């Protein structure tokens, strides 16, 4: 498992995650990474490109600093798609929220499971698990975790409200 630490300075610290605005495009759609995905009206883009599917080519990973909470950001994921008939496009793959994103084993369509950690000011973190399905990443599970003596971490399911 590879952990990607992607910091972003921005909004004042809050005790709850900032909800990501609805994406401007649907997963699987060609888009502009500088203005599409979960972004504010005037995006202040930070890039943290990574090779998520381990094919040797970086996927485009961007966040709007205006929506960040300390190191926690909503990271919009795009892959470059080229074909003989069309010009290259940046296909929107979804948005993953957190300060740290762990890349797990490769799954469907060559894309790995992603786990993100939204950190709080105390010893708690929200762990979210995303799977690639058909054309993009979908949130599968969310757990609230807290530090337990030494290096131990205890997580419990976060029930929908």
pLDDT number for residue 5:
42
Q: pLDDT digits over 63-113, tens only? A: 999 999 889 999 999 999 887 676 789 999 999 999 989 988 776 667 899
Q: pLDDT digits over 114-149, tens only? A: 999 999 877 888 999 999 988 999 999 999 998 777
d(CA 156, CA 154): 7
Q: How many CB atoms lie within 10 A of CB 70?
A: 17
pLDDT number for residue 136:
93
Are 39 and 105 in contact by the 8 Å Cβ rule? The answer is no
Phi, psi of 131 (to 5 degrees): -120, 145
Confidence band, pLDDT 50/70/90 cuts, at residue 6: very low
pLDDT number for residue 17:
62
3-state secondary structure the chain: CEEEECCCCCECCCCCCCCCCCCCCCCCCEECCCCCCCCCCCCCEEECCECCCCCCCCEEEEEEHHHCECCEEEEEEEEEECCCCCCCEEEEEEEEEECEEEEEEECHHHCEEEEEEEECCCCEEEEEEEEEECCEEEEEEEEEEEEECCCEEEEEECCCC
* Three-state DSSP state, 65: helix
d(CA 96, CA 120): 17
């Amino acid at each position: 498992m590879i952990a990607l630490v992607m910091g972003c300075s921005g909004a004042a610290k809050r005790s709850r995650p900032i909800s990501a605005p609805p994406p401007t495009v649907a997963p699987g759609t060609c888009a502009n990474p500088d203005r599409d995905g979960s972004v504010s009206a005037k995006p202040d883009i930070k890039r943290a490109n990574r090779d998520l599917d381990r094919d040797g080519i970086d996927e485009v990973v961007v966040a709007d600093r205006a929506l960040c909470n300390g190191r926690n950001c909503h990271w919009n994921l795009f892959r470059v798609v080229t074909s003989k008939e069309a010009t290259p496009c940046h296909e929107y793959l979804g948005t993953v929220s957190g300060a740290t994103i762990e890349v797990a084993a490769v799954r469907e369509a060559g894309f790995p499971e992603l786990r993100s950690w939204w950190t709080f000011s105390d010893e708690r973190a929200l762990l979210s698990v995303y799977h690639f399905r058909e054309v993009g990443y979908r949130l599968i599970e969310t757990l609230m975790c807290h530090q337990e003596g030494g290096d131990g971490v205890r997580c419990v399911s976060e029930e929908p409200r």
